[in-house]
Amino acid sequence: MKRLGPALFAAVAALLVLPPSVRAEDKPPITIGFSIEQTGGLAAVGKTGLLAFQIWAENVNKKGGLLGRPVKLVFYDDQSNPANVPGIYTKLIDIDKVDLIVSSYATNLVAPAMPIVMQKNRLFFGLFALGINVEFHYPKYFSMLVFGPDPKPTFSKGWFEVAMAQNPKPKTIALVTADAEFGRNALDGARQNVKEAGLQTVYDRAYPPTTVDYTPIVRAVQAANPDIVYVASYPPDTVGILRAVNEIGYKPNFLGGTMVGTAAAAFRTQLGPLLNGVVVGENWEPAKTMDFPGIWDFLKQYQPKATVEGIDPLGYFLPPFAYAEMQVLEEAITKTGGLDETKLAEYIHGHPFKTVVGEISFGPDGEWTKPQNLFVQYHGIKSNDIEQFRDDSHITILYPPQFKTGELIAPFVKAAE
């Protein structure tokens, strides 16, 4: 048996006597807690956000963790039910004693967590939550959403700009949404844009969140005979409304709005050709104008995992933003050298961040300092095959100008054909 040389012996001996605390895997983890939709109406989207969080944690841990400690995600299924959210966050903070918290997906699931977060004075990220902090001005809240410092009107501003550029200009409008937090916030901004555009509102009603049959709603809108129809809807509603439009053969001049879910593969495959002609708000598309550094590296990790798990195989809607949110948190922790949430909030407010969805920075209320939302039109869709959505051949970005890829096909009936 060969003897170890003096230098090699010393190195091996040093490794053997190293205390466990110097190895990241032996240190207590940094715990990040959240609720997430694993079941219920928003699960098709919520599961994609969860996978993005998990990919981020996996990548960080491969690099040795944060602050020399591994990262552990602690999460519970909120069942897409806002009533479950306060209890989950109370448990995460008081029982699990997680180091940091982030949110579930969507306004209706983020809003119920805010009173708990503020009461406990915790740092908090809202994932796709519209205008949550407009009234609170809570300094430790940050929004991972693209609508900039004035989110409510910005949410629909581009849609109105596209609609009003038609010749002849529309004169009347119908406003449709659900009677819930998201819908109320969306229509607050839409009504401001209606006023600025000089449009006459001929229909403005909110349907119950429990609605399953949207045909009476669409028939009522049709009877009002508006030139343009703005809809603010959550994914299940989006599907129901577009199916009702098709079933009764309703053909307004211009149809769409902020119909959440159209970018998610599950809803694209459900709707297929029913998407043709609609002009809707989205956040990212696989266009050359939006080829941000790192986004395809992330998607190449996400897509095979998503296919195995049976969730959105594209990942163009929520996942890049969920991953970017964690990139912001990672940098803040690394640069401040700790988990002091006051210092983290100060750092996040004071610095821009390079993420997979571009460079972003946060204003006083935690919203992005510059809006980056899109309005797109679907066209030429022949089937329900997901493969036709892998590129932007059936999706034209109409707004904003820096991301624009083509022109509006109008009226709606022409594009729908």
Query: Cβ(317)–Cβ(44) under 8 Å?
Result: no
Query: Cβ(183)–Cβ(177) under 8 Å?
Result: yes
Give the pLDDT confidence score for residue 415 in this predicted structure. 77
What are the C-alpha distances in Å from 253 to residues 82, 223, 283, 367? 36, 14, 24, 34
Return phi, psi of residue 104, to 5°: -70, 180
DSSP lists the bridge partners of residue 368 as 362
Between CA 284 and CA 118 the distance in angstroms is: 31
Query: Cβ(89)–Cβ(109) under 8 Å?
Result: no
Return phi, psi of residue 46, to 5°: -55, -40
Give the pLDDT confidence score for residue 25 in this predicted structure. 62
Residues contacting 16, CB < 8 A, separation 6+: none
Give the pLDDT confidence score for residue 379 in this predicted structure. 95
Domains of the chain (ranges plus CATH)?
A: 22-149+292-360 (3.40.50.2300), 151-289+373-416 (3.40.50.2300)
Question: Nearest 5°: CA angle at 274, between 272 and 278?
Answer: 115
Give the pLDDT confidence score for residue 22 in this predicted structure. 45
What are the C-alpha distances in Å from 379 to residues 275, 338, 407? 7, 49, 11
Task: Pick out the chain residues at pLDDT < 50.
Answer: 1-4, 6-22
